Amino acid sequence: MFFGRCVSSPAEFFLAEHNRRLRKYYRITDSGLKKIEAFKTDRQEIIPICKFVTGEDKND
């Protein structure tokens, strides 16, 4: 089995053979989890702006 990860990568991977085929499996790292949490908070700020721009937020 081969394990790999780029420097400061949000995911790491490993290679394993299954049914004579080489498979690549991914696992999220701690830095990747932190990026997801940051995205979730940013997303909550962006959603109302997108609704305003697309006209979905009509309070007439």
Amino acid, res. 35: K
Q: Which carries the bigger pLDDT value, residue 39 or residue 9? A: 39
The rounded distance, in Å, linking the Cα atoms of 54 and 23 is 42
* pLDDT tens digits, 3-38: 555 555 778 888 888 888 999 888 888 888 999 999
Residue 60's pLDDT is 52
Residue 58's pLDDT is 72
Sequence spans of domains, the chain: 2-54
Output the CA angle 14-11-15, nearest 5 degrees.
Answer: 10
**β-bridge pairing 21-28 and 11-18:** antiparallel
Percent of the chain with pLDDT over 90: 35
The rounded distance, in Å, linking the Cα atoms of 15 and 1 is 6
